[in-house]
C-alpha cells in the first residue's frame, strides 16, 4: 500500500538525520572516528559506536513502522543484531524507549556512561520528521500487508561513512568515494514470490552548506505492483551520461559493433581483471569506479550510467532489494550475472531476476542471503540484452588473449 511507502520515506529521512548527526555533532563524531589505540577497550569502543549508529538507524526504522503498521516489525530484516555488551560485561538490548529521557539512560549503558553523546543521539532519535512527496501523495495503491517482507541496510558503505571525505570531486557526476557514497536502503518484497515491490534509497550526504557545514540529502523511491509502476521524479542533474546507448537502441539501427563504447558502467574497485578488460572493450572509457553497493545501484537509478555490474558474491539481499524495486518501476531490474553468462538467449528463457525470499542452500551466517552469482543492475531490458551480448563476446576475446 502506498501508505507503507509514505511511512518508509519518512523513517528513511529520520534515519538520515541520525546518520548526519553522528557526522556533524562533535560529541558523536569523535566517537565515530576514535582511533584504535591504547589497548582493547578503545578498540572495542570505536567498533561499537560504528555498530551503534547502524543498529540505531535499523531500530528506528523497525519500531516506527511497527507503530504505524502493527505486525510489520517481525517481517523487517537487516544485517545488525540489536544486542550489545558494554565494558562492564552487561548485555543490553537496544530498543527505542517511549521517552527521550529513557533512551538517554539506555544509550548511556551502551556508551559506558558517555552522557553527552547519549543525549545528542537520543535527541535526534526522538525528533519528529515530516516528509511528503506530491507524486506519491496523489496515489492510493492497496497491497496486502501480510505478503510484505522488508530488507534494511541502515548505513551502506560504512567505511566511507566513518573515513569518507566531504570534498571528493565527482567524475561526470559519479563519486568514486566520500560521504556521497553513503546510502540508507529499504527494500520491500513479496514474501511468497521474492519479487521486489517497493524501494527507498536515502542519500544523506548530497550537498554541504559551506557556512554551516550542514548536509542536505536526497531521497529516491519506486513502487512496482501489478499494473502500477511509479517512481520519484528524477533530480535535474540525472540522466546525463547514459542517454547515448538508450537513444541508439530506441532508433534500433546499426550493428553490434556500432553499439560498442556507447554503454557506460559503474564497478567496484575490487572487480575482477577479466571483467574490467571486457568492460573496457564494451564501454571504452565510460567505466567508473565507486564505493558502496547501494550507491553504485543509485547511479543506475539516476541515469548516470546504464549498468552496474559486480561479479563477486559479497553483496547481500539488503544491498540490492531497494534499488531493484525502483529499477523495476522504471522498466529495468537486477539480474544474476553468473546465470546471465550461462544462459542461452535462443532458448527464450526469462532473465534471471534476483529474488529476496529464499536462503542460499547449504550456506551459513550472512552468506545465506548473499547474491551468490553476482549481479547486473540495468534501466532497460533491451539495453541489457545488447550489453550482455557484447560482454559475452568480449569476455571470450579476453580469455583467448590470456
Residues designated catalytic: 54, 79, 153, 155-156, 158, 319
79 appears as a binding residue in the annotation: yes
- The CB-side HSE value for 330 (13 A sphere, CA atoms) comes to 28
346 appears as a binding residue in the annotation: no
Q: Residue 61: CB partners within 8 Å, gap ≥ 6?
A: 8, 11, 12, 15, 76, 152, 154, 186
155 appears as a binding residue in the annotation: yes
Q: Among 202, 189, 197, 199, which residue's Cα sits nearest to residue 228? A: 197
Residue with cell 501508505: 3
**Which residues in 253-318 belong to E strands, given as ranges?**
265-267, 287-289, 307-310
Find out whether 377 and 303 touch, Cβ atoms under 8 Å. no
184 appears as a binding residue in the annotation: no
Q: Among 158, 385, 151, 165, which residue's Cα sits nearest to residue 293? A: 158
Find out whether 317 and 188 touch, Cβ atoms under 8 Å. no
Q: Among 383, 189, 253, which residue's Cα sits nearest to residue 305? A: 383
**Which residues in 125-277 belong to E strands, given as ranges?**
148-156, 183-190, 196-208, 215-225, 228-231, 265-267
Distance CA 15, CA 28 (A): 15
* Binding residue numbers: 79, 153, 155-156, 319
Amino acid at each position: 500500500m502506498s501508505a507503507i511507502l509514505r511511512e518508509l520515506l519518512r523513517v528513511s529521512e529520520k534515519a538520515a538525520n541520525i546518520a548526519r548527526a553522528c557526522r556533524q555533532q562533535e560529541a558523536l563524531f569523535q566517537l565515530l572516528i576514535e582511533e584504535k589505540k591504547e589497548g582493547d577497550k578503545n578498540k572495542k569502543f570505536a567498533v561499537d559506536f560504528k555498530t551503534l549508529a547502524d543498529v540505531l538507524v535499523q531500530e528506528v526504522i523497525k519500531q516506527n513502522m511497527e507503530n504505524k503498521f502493527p505486525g510489520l516489525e517481525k517481517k523487517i530484516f537487516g544485517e545488525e543484531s540489536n544486542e550489545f555488551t558494554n565494558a562492564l560485561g552487561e548485555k543490553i538490548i537496544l530498543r527505542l524507549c517511549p521517552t527521550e529521557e529513557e533512551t538517554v539512560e539506555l544509550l548511556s549503558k551502551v556508551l559506558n556512561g558517555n552522557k553527552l553523546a547519549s543525549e545528542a543521539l537520543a535527541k535526534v532519535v526522538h525528533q519528529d520528521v515530516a516528509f511528503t512527496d506530491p507524486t506519491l501523495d496523489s496515489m492510493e495503491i492497496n497491497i496486502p500487508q501480510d505478503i510484505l517482507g522488508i530488507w534494511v541496510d541502515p548505513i551502506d558503505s560504512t567505511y566511507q561513512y566513518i573515513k569518507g571525505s566531504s570534498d571528493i570531486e565527482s567524475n561526470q557526476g559519479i563519486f568514486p568515494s566520500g560521504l556521497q557514497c553513503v546510502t540508507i536502503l529499504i527494500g520491500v518484497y513479496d514474501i511468497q514470490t521474492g519479487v521486489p515491490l517497493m524501494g527507498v534509497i536515502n542519500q544523506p550526504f548530497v550537498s554541504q552548506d559551506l557556512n554551516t557545514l550542514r548536509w542536505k540529502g536526497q531521497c529516491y523511491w519506486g513502487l512496482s505492483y501489478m499494473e502500477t509502476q511509479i517512481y520519484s521524479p528524477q533530480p535535474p542533474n540525472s540522466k546525463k551520461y547514459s542517454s547515448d546507448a538508450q537513444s541508439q537502441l530506441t532508433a534500433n539501427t546499426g550493428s553490434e559493433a556500432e553499439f560498442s563504447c556507447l554503454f557506460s558502467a559503474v564497478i567496484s574497485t575490487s572487480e575482477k581483471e577479466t571483467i574490467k578488460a571486457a568492460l573496457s572493450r564494451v564501454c571504452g572509457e565510460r567505466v567508473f569506479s565507486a564505493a558502496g553497493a547501494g550507491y553504485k545501484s543509485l547511479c543506475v537509478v539516476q541515469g548516470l550510467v546504464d549498468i552496474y555490474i559486480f561479479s563477486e558474491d559479497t553483496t547481500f539481499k539488503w544491498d540490492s532489494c531497494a534499488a531493484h524495486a525502483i529499477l523495476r518501476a522504471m522498466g529495468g531490474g537486477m539480474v544474476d550475472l553468473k546465470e546471465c553468462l550461462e544462459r542461452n538467449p535462443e532458448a527464450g528463457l526469462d532473465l534471471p531476476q534476483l529474488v529476496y525470499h529464499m536462503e542460499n542452500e547449504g550456506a551459513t551466517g550472512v552468506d545465506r542471503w548473499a547474491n551468490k552469482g553476482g549481479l547486473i543492475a540495468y534501466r532497460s531490458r533491451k539495453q541489457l540484452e545488447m550489453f550482455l551480448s557484447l560482454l559475452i563476446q568480449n569476455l571470450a576475446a579476453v580469455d583467448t588473449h590470456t
